[in-house]
Structure 1
Amino acid sequence: MKKIVIIGDSIAAGFFEGQVTDLLNEYVTDTLTGMGFPDYTVVNLGERGASSATALEQLPKAEAENPDFVAINVGINDAINNRENVKEYGENLKKMITAFPAEKVILVGPSWVDLTIKTAGNKETLVKYIAMAKDIAQETGVNYIDMYHHMEVYPDPAEFLQSDGLHPSKFGYHLLGALIARDIKNKLLG
């Protein structure tokens, strides 16, 4: 059985309808199986409320799993709650990414947020964090999933979110899981 480790925040953890679920894990493995790559399991180390700084604490556990692939999905809490730590966010991402060979890592950027509901955030700050994530991915040579872009180009991006305006709906987790699976497939096919 091959192993995918997911590190990050509540979105990475599969937070849905008030609790952590296996939704993201299932969408990743089901999509991979549908693409002809069965035999994958997900070890999800995502934690509610994690920032890039607290997600770093997941690193020893992630390394101990000796994963075939690692998906890092953190940043939305930094962008909404800490706003001014863009540089620290980039440094934390770099530490997480470089703990693994670049060919094993997929970095998921901060997602689109419905700011009419989640009023603590603002688009300008979110865009700065997304730009930092893109820059770090390019600098370290890892795959980057631009969740904000994938959601924003959709006619009604709010469909990807639960009523809190932040966490993915089932549709949103399906999109995220499929994008992670696609990147793994592309890495496998070289």
Structure 2
Amino acid sequence: MVNSNTYTNVLPAANVVSDTTQRFLLALGDSYTIGQSVPEANQFPVQTVKYLNAQGMNFFAPEIIAHTGWTTGNLLNSLADAAPVKQTYDIVTLLIGVNNQYEHGSQQQYADEFLTLLNKAIQFAGNNKKRVIVLSIPDYSVTPFANGSNKDLIAKEINAFNAINKKIAEQAGVNYIDITGFTRLAASDASLIASDGLHPSGIEYQIWAYQLLPVIKTALK
């Protein structure tokens, strides 16, 4: 079983001086962002804010714009229908694309729509690129949901979509965190998979939160 503490040296420190600046995090995505099949407290944006606040930051509850099954197109449509509550955010995360792959969507369409979403994310961050974080797409081929499917093909396609979002993120000059490798640990550790046999567990989301902490703290310096 994976001990998520293995992946971080940034656990809450004792006697931290609190930062009185009020901060806001916006998380854009799909079922991985809303934490399908886990309690709200286990969602990765919620865990991230919890650990940041334990280290003296002053983040409000994250605003999450995400829905199970959303593709890049669905997220774009949602943002067109209703803008985020605030005009600008201190941190914006973007994780989207698994449903583009699952629905056999065009990689070119994904690239075009992902770029549009990333530009919106940068705008939501007050055009401060260092405060935007793209997370790679998890690999669900290692979950029970994929039993009976071509797991090698799923993994290959996930890699292809991730190559697209990584290239776009790097060209835009925003932060990029590769969490895909951590999701593949579920091949040998069922504790990283939620009860639905598809989505990550709270333990897996905790690992993601730990990857986000140092990036966010650096971005806010």
> For the superposition of Structure 1 and Structure 2, which TM-score range results when normalised by the shorter chain?
0.7 to 0.9
Rg comparison, structure with higher value: 2
Cα drift, residue 150 of structure 1: 3.1
TM-score, structure 1 length as denominator? Answer: 0.85
Change (3 A) 1:116 1:27: closer
Change (3 A) 1:39 1:21: closer
Partner of 2:40: 21
- For structure 1, the 5+ residue unaligned runs are none
Task: Please tell me whether the aligned partners of residues 7 and 58 of structure 1 are also in contact (alpha carbons under 8 angstroms).
Answer: no
Partner of 2:112: 91
Percent identical among aligned pairs is 21
Task: Please tell me whether the aligned partners of residues 90 and 133 of structure 1 are also in contact (alpha carbons under 8 angstroms).
Answer: yes
Q: How many residues align?
A: 186
**Equivalent residue letter for 1:95:** T
Partner of 2:169: 137
SS of aligned partner of 1:5: strand
**Equivalent residue letter for 1:106:** I
Task: Please tell me whether the aligned partners of residues 9 and 47 of structure 1 are also in contact (alpha carbons under 8 angstroms).
Answer: yes
Q: Deviations over 1:8-29 (max 9, x none)?
A: 1011112125xx7242232011
Tell me the distance in 1 between the aligned counterparts of 2:188 and 2:112.
33
Tell me the distance in 2 between the aligned counterparts of 1:5 and 1:39.
11
Partner of 1:54: 74
Give the number of the structure whose residues are more often strand, by fraction.
1
Deviates more, 1:90-99 or 1:113-122: 113-122
Change (3 A) 1:12 1:187: same
Tell me the distance in 1 between the aligned counterparts of 2:174 and 2:85.
17
SS of aligned partner of 1:159: helix
TM-score, structure 2 length as denominator? Answer: 0.74
Tell me the distance in 1 between the aligned counterparts of 2:210 and 2:78.
24
Partner of 1:109: 136
1:76 aligned onto 2:103: no
Partner of 1:177: 209
Please give the root-mean-square deviation of Cα atoms over the aligned residues, in Å.
Answer: 2.4
